[in-house]
Amino acid sequence: MRILAIETSCDDTGAAVVLNGRKILSNIVSSQNSIHQKYGGVVPELASRRHIEMIVPIVTEALKGANLALKEIDGIAVTQGPGLVGSLLIGLSFAKSIAFATGKPFVGVNHVEGHISAIFLEKNPPRFPFIGLVVSGGHTSLFRVDGFGKYKRIGQTRDDAAGEAFDKVAKLLGLGYPGGPIIDELSKKGNPKSIRFPRPSLSKNSLDFSFSGLKTAVVNYVKSHPEPRGGYSEELVRDIVSSFQEAVIDVLVKKTIRAALDQKLKRIVLSGGVAANHHLRKRMKDTAHEEKLSVYIPSPVFCTDNAAMIGVVGYEYLKRGFRSPLSLNAFSNLPL
Ligand code: KG4
Ligand code: ZN
C-alpha cells in the first residue's frame, strides 16, 4: 500500500510517500523557520499563508521523489489535529480535495499518534506495549502504548511543553528560533552544573510535568545578573542554557523511567522535536540501561514534524478498512 501523507499542523509543510507504513519512498519538509525567526515564535496567520503557497509544490515533489503518479497512490493520510487550526485546514482541505477528485481512500490522523509511530520508520522498531514520551513544542506527555490506537495517557504537562520552554528561554536570551536546536548546540560546550535551576516534579508520585517555574527561574536569573555593556559573554550564555537544559532533561528522564517501572514495561519510545536533543537522547539511553530498560528513539529527522510519520499511522488505519468522511474537520485540540 502506497500512502501519500500530508502534515501541516504547525510551521512545516510536509508531504511523504510511505510504502506499507514502513518504507519511505519520499519525505519532503519545507521549514518556515526563516519566516517566524524574527518574531521568536510561530505567527499563525503567516504559517497558514505559507502552507497555501507550499502545499502544491511539496506534494508534487513528494510524488516525484517516489517516482509515482497520483493515480498510483493507494490512499491518502493527513494530520487532522492537534495543531494550529489555520495550518491544519490547508493540509486537510488539500488532502480531501485529492481524495474527492481521485476517489482514493482517505484518513485523518492524530499528530501525536504520528510522533509516537515515527519509530516504526526505523530498522528495529519496538514490540508493543511500551512507554511513549512525546516531547515537542506543543506536547509533553507520557503514554502507555498497547498498540496502534491503544493509548493510555499517564502524564502530561500542566503548563508549558518542554519544547516551548526551550523556545522561550532562547527568545529571552536573544538566541533565535526555534530555540531547541540552538540550545542543544550551545550546550555542548556549556557547564550544566554551573547554575542550579529547579527540577519541578510536582507531587512525589506524579507523572505530570511543569516547566513554567523553570522558565521563570531562568528569567529571574537573567534579571538578577544584568547584562554588561556588550552583552553576556558566550561562556555565560552557554552555562545558562546548558544548566536549563540539564534541569529539563533530569525531569524528563526521571519521570519516563518511573513510568516504565510503574507500568512494568521494559521498552521506552521517545518522540517529538525535543527527542532530537543530543543530551536527552544520551541521558535517557544511559539511565534506562542502568535500569535494564530499552530505549528507542527515531532519527532526528523523524522526531521533528514530518509527513512520513503520518503515513505510518494512515497505513495502519487504512489497512484495517477505516475511512474518514470528506466532511472531516480540523481540531486544534484532539485528544489521543
Ligand atoms: O515536533 P515538533 O517539530 O513540532 C511540534 O509538534 O511542536 O517540535 C518542535 C519543538 C520546538 O519547540 C523545538 O525547539 C524543539 O522541538 N526542538 C528541540 C530540538 N530540535 C527541535 N528541542 C531541543 N533540542 C533539539 N535538538
Ligand atoms: Zn509535532
pLDDT tens digits, residue range 34-73? 999 888 889 999 999 999 999 999 999 999 999 999 999 9
Check residue 304 and report its DSSP letter: S
Q: Please tell me whether residue 246 adopts helix, strand or coil conformation.
A: helix
How much is the pLDDT for 226? Answer: 81
Return the closest-CA partner of residue 42 out of 79, 80, 14, 12.
12
- Cα(125)–Cα(213) distance, rounded to whole angstroms? 36
Residue 160: exposure state from Cβ atoms within 10 A (0-12, 13-18, ≥19): buried
Mutate to test the pocket of ligand 1, among 29, 31, 136 (most ligand atoms within 8 A of CB): 136
Residue 159: exposure state from Cβ atoms within 10 A (0-12, 13-18, ≥19): middle
Q: Which residues pair with 78 in a beta bridge?
A: 6, 108
C-alpha cell at 155: 502524564
C-alpha cell at 35: 519566516
**Does the beta carbon of 82 lie inside 6 Å of ligand 1?**
no
- State yes or no: pLDDT of 230 exceeds 90: no
Minimum-distance ligand 1 atom for the alpha carbon of 12: 3
- Is the pTM above the cut of 0.75? yes
- State yes or no: pLDDT of 200 exceeds 90: no
- Report the amino acid identity of residue 164: E
Q: HSE on the CB side for 271, CA within 13 Å?
A: 28
- Cα(294)–Cα(311) distance, rounded to whole angstroms? 25
- Cα(205)–Cα(307) distance, rounded to whole angstroms? 36
How much is the pLDDT for 184? Answer: 98
Mean pLDDT of the residues in the chain? 96
C-alpha cell at 215: 522558565
203 confidence band (pLDDT: 50, 70, 90): confident
- Cα(37)–Cα(253) distance, rounded to whole angstroms? 30
Task: Tell me how far apart the terminal alpha carbons of the chain are, to the nearest angstrom.
Answer: 25
**Does the beta carbon of 276 lie inside 6 Å of ligand 1?**
yes
Q: Whose CA is nearest to atom 8 of ligand 1?
A: 273
Q: HSE on the CB side for 45, CA within 13 Å?
A: 1
Strand pairing class (75-81; 23-31): unpaired
C-alpha cell at 277: 536533543
Q: What is the pLDDT of residues 18-34, one digit of tens each?
A: 999 999 999 999 999 99
Check residue 126 and report its DSSP letter: P
Spatial strand order in the sheet of 12-19: 23-31, 12-19, 2-7, 75-81, 106-110
Minimum-distance ligand 1 atom for the alpha carbon of 272: 1
**Mean local confidence (pLDDT), 176-196:** 96
Strand pairing class (12-19; 23-31): antiparallel
SS3 breakdown of the chain: % helix, strand, coil, rounded to 5? 45, 20, 35
The closest ligand to the CA of 304 turns out to be 1
- Report the amino acid identity of residue 289: H
**Does the beta carbon of 179 lie inside 6 Å of ligand 1?**
yes
Rounded to the nearest angstrom, the distance between the alpha carbon of 23 and the centre of ligand 1 is 24
Q: How far is CA 87 from CA 37, 91, 287, in A?
A: 17, 7, 38
